[in-house]
Amino acid sequence: MKRKILLVEDEKPHARLILRVFEESEVGYKLYCVDTIRKALNYLRKNKEEVCLIIADHYLPDGDGLTLIEKGKEIGVPVIILTSYGSERLAVKSLKMGAMDYVTKSIGEIYRLPQVAERALENWNAIVKREKIEKELKKYEDAFYNLLENIGDFAYILDNELRYVYANKSARDRLEVDRNEIIGREFGEFHSQEDVKIFKGKAKKVFKTGKALKYDFYDKTRDIFLFRELVPIKDPATKKIVHVLVVSKDIKAQKRAKYELKKMEKTENELSKRIKQLEWLKGGIISNVSHELKTPIAIVKSSIELALKEKDRKEEEKFLRIALKAVDRQLNIVNKLMRIAEIETSKFRISPKKIDLEELISSAIEEIYPLALTKKIHIKKSFKGNLIVRADEEKIYEVLINLLENAIKYNKENGKIYVNAESKEDYVEISIRDIGIGIKTENLRKIFDKFFQEKPSARESKGGIGLGLTIVKEIVEAHGGVIWVESKVGRGSKFTFTIPKLPDVGVVSSYRFFTN
């Protein structure tokens, strides 16, 4: 595996600091440093097979470091751009050209470079893997297209990681995706947990034995009866099973009648109530996600249009900052959708290390404080005991920011937020309490559910797509902790979670509810 990074940096103090930061990190990369574009190109010409990442300064003695982005594309190596001067326009330009990230050369950002490099490589490998899957699709598309594309049953091909490499029109229509959207995505993204659990066992058996099998299944989530047939597909060269063809049929014609009869025995009021709940849930998810993504896009478009027309430099910058803020909002939504996708597709991982929760909480409060000032909210913090734990610093920070944002969002003007952290025998307990609008008792058990938002209430008008608390819960439980909420309408809410001092990583715990 390639573990060499080419650093293109002409400022020796920065180069020495970056080299030292990587040497002290645990990522395990070896850096080779040059100070000009010419030297970088010469090195890549001779050693391109060894280089996994290029980190290049923007301003170099013999030209613009952005030229290395195109070179990186040519040889299949990702690029991160460095600069001493933060520039929104340069950042956008770098990313549009294909850079994997843009980093200013502040001390804090330089110390984050190993993690930025890891993330850039992960994203790059995901892109490469997707391209590889797309190539595999072409091997099968010609042979199966006419047969599978036109049958009425749901037909799709999965690899040994249960990722889609093909789905016919019936399956795509059912899943409401187009051909390109489904390639590379996991089976679990589109099916209920119960369905996925059963299917994984069946698919594993097919890959292991090389024999086809059949089974039927009632999907409660989608309210359909399915008959599935799984057929192994071998690689002609290696004779190994590399894919499985799945054909699903809706067999509700036979079994649906009995199921529908039981439903009809319910009273009209019960049916009406259930239908309204389902309609609200479906409509809420679609409208919330689409609206929350569409609104910042519209703001960006209109702001850029106004900026282009504006002759006054200050007014132009004002409109561009509005656009940037809208992009940040959209990025926050996309990040939440990506995080929940990681959780749903079993890609979610934590990397525990020794951290001081007192410092981490203080940093989170410092970051969020400008938002609190917009509502004149005062944040009080208190710490008790030794707050050193082993945990994933980035993800616990995400939990704190999410809970603090909610405490501000649902608080009142001139309100208060109380943040407390206390060391217990074998864990640390952290609580964040606001004095805002509170949560209805009947909604406490749903508050951590995906896409859940109270309706009707004042909370609904606050925006968001209902994923923040779901992500918070998953992160806490992945550390072996628990999270619960205490709330009373009109009095505020208190979210409390625990982090074991020596976590049993991966243990999932139930959460508790209190109404006082």
Average pLDDT over residues 139-147: 66
Query: From CA 469, how far away is CA 472, in angstroms rounded?
Result: 5
On whether the CB atoms of residues 483 and 477 are closer than 8 A, the answer is yes
pLDDT at 346: 57
Q: Is the pLDDT of residue 260 over 50?
A: yes
End-to-end Cα distance, the chain = 56
> Binning pLDDT at 50, 70 and 90, where does residue 170 land?
confident
Among 90, 91, 13, 101, which Cα is nearest to 54's? 101
Amino acid at 368: I
Which of 482 and 270 is assigned the larger pLDDT? 482
Which three-class secondary structure string do you get for 4-47? EEEEECCCHHHHHHHHHHHHHCCCCCEEEEECCHHHHHHHHHHH
Express each pLDDT in 233-247 by its tens digit: 988 778 889 999 999
Structure tokens at 44: 């890549």
Contacts of 458 (CB under 8 A, 6+ apart): 410, 437
Express each pLDDT in 310-337 by its tens digit: 667 777 676 676 666 556 555 656 665 6
Amino acid at 7: L
Which of 348 and 448 is assigned the larger pLDDT? 448
The secondary element (H helix, E strand) that includes residue 302 is helix 268-309
Lowest model confidence (mean pLDDT) among 7-11, 127-131, 164-168, 319-323: 319-323
Structure tokens at 394: 């980035």
Q: Is the pLDDT of residue 516 over 70?
A: no
DSSP calls for 141-192: HHHHHHHHHT-SSEEEEEETT-BEEEE-HHHHHHHT--HHHHTT-BGGGSS-
On whether the CB atoms of residues 349 and 389 are closer than 8 A, the answer is no
Which of 444 and 432 is assigned the larger pLDDT? 432
> Binning pLDDT at 50, 70 and 90, where does residue 442 land?
confident
Q: Is the pLDDT of residue 452 over 90?
A: no
Q: What is the pTM of this model?
A: 0.40
Mean pLDDT of the chain: 80
On whether the CB atoms of residues 81 and 104 are closer than 8 A, the answer is no
Residue owning tokens 């751009």: 81
Is the peptide bond preceding residue 456 cis, with omega within 30 degrees of 0? yes
- Three-class SS state of 459: helix
pLDDT at 278: 44
Percent of the chain as helix, strand, coil, to the nearest 5 = 50, 25, 25
Q: 103 - beta bridge partners? A: 82
Q: Is the pLDDT of residue 281 over 60?
A: no
Query: From CA 438, how far away is CA 176, in angstroms rounded?
Result: 36
Most confident range (mean pLDDT) of 165-179, 269-283, 347-361, 406-420 is 406-420
Average pLDDT over residues 463-479: 81
Q: Is the pLDDT of residue 265 over 70?
A: no
Q: Which residues of 437-472 are buried (b: 16+ CB within 10 A; e: fewer)?
A: bbbbeebbeebbebebbbeebebeeeebbbbbbbbb
The whole-angstrom distance between residue 307's C-alpha and the CA centroid of its chain comes to 32
Lowest model confidence (mean pLDDT) among 118-122, 250-254, 400-404: 250-254
Average pLDDT over residues 445-461: 64
Express each pLDDT in 51-99 by its tens digit: 889 999 988 998 888 888 888 888 888 999 998 877 788 888 888 888 8
The secondary element (H helix, E strand) that includes residue 227 is strand 224-234
Q: Is the pLDDT of residue 268 over 70?
A: no
Express each pLDDT in 11-53 by its tens digit: 999 999 999 999 888 878 889 999 999 999 999 888 888 888 9
Q: Which residues of 76-106 are buried (b: 16+ CB within 10 A; e: fewer)?
A: ebbbbbbbeeeeeeebebbeeeebbbbbebe
Structural domains of the chain, ranges and CATH numbers in brackets: 4-144 (3.40.50.2300), 148-252 (3.30.450.20), 256-344 (1.10.287.130), 350-500 (3.30.565.10)
Which of 388 and 274 is assigned the larger pLDDT? 388
What's the sign of the alpha-carbon dihedral 108, 114, 119, 124?
A: positive
Query: From CA 297, how far away is CA 206, in angstroms rounded?
Result: 45
Contacts of 25 (CB under 8 A, 6+ apart): 114
> Binning pLDDT at 50, 70 and 90, where does residue 307 land?
low
Query: From CA 18, how far away is CA 418, in angstroms rounded?
Result: 39
On whether the CB atoms of residues 264 and 171 are closer than 8 A, the answer is no
Which of 416 and 296 is assigned the larger pLDDT? 416
DSSP calls for 235-292: -TTT--EEEEEEEEEE-HHHHHHHHHHHHHTS-HHHHHHHHHHHHHHHHHHHHHHHHH
- Three-class SS state of 49: coil
